[in-house]
């Protein structure tokens, strides 16, 4: 089946859950300049706002300006890995607006924005949503914490106790 074309949603003022049968995939990248690393935070939620799966990852980078694109790509990869089919990719950077200039990354030349477009096309349906920082607090918190652990951390249907208060504040904002 052909995926529906992407649409971009205007920035919201607070986090909102997706429509029924959709999953919201929030992502963010935190730059650690001195370490030449990018922290990646991703949280996937269902239409009730329940966390399906968050991850935090830390990755080396040769070009720190591409942290958000790296996070967007990892967010889509993770959504595919857990088997969701209708996604809203939401972050403070719009990967479709990224420069079309190819960037070197760990010895390979590739275009992260094109990677994101390709991965997004593999979903049954998808939308892109560019949001402000206060609508993306959980993903941002996860990204900042990535430097504390050099390994990929995944929680299924749960969230790190260190991020729980941030998540609860987002959900309280829905009432």
Residue 32 CB: number of other CB atoms within 10 A?
A: 17
Give yes or no for a contact between 24 and 45, defined as CB atoms under 8 angstroms apart. yes
Contacts of 16 (CB under 8 A, 6+ apart): 174
pLDDT of residue 60: 84
Q: What is the pLDDT of residues 59-68, one digit of tens each?
A: 887 665 677 8
Q: What is the pLDDT of residues 23-60, one digit of tens each?
A: 999 999 988 888 888 899 999 999 998 888 889 998 88
CA distance 158 to 173: 19
């Amino acid at each position: 089946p052909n995926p529906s074309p992407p649409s971009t949603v205007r920035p919201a003022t607070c986090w909102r859950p997706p429509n029924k049968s959709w999953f919201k995939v929030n992502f963010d990248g935190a730059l650690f300049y001195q370490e030449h690393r990018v922290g990646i935070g991703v949280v996937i939620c269902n239409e009730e706002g329940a966390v399906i799966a968050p991850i935090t990852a830390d990755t080396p980078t040769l070009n720190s300006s591409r942290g958000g694109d790296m996070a967007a790509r990892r967010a889509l990869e993770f959504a595919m890995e857990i088997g969701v089919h209708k996604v809203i990719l939401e972050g403070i950077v719009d990967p479709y607006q990224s420069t079309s200039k190819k960037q070197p990354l760990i010895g390979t030349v590739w275009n992260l924005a094109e990677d994101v477009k390709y991965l997004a096309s593999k979903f049954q349906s998808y939308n892109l949503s560019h949001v402000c920082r206060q609508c993306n607090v959980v993903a941002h918190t996860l990204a900042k914490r990535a430097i504390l652990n050099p390994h990929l951390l995944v929680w299924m249907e749960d969230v790190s106790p260190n991020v729980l208060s941030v998540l609860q504040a987002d959900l309280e904002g829905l009432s």
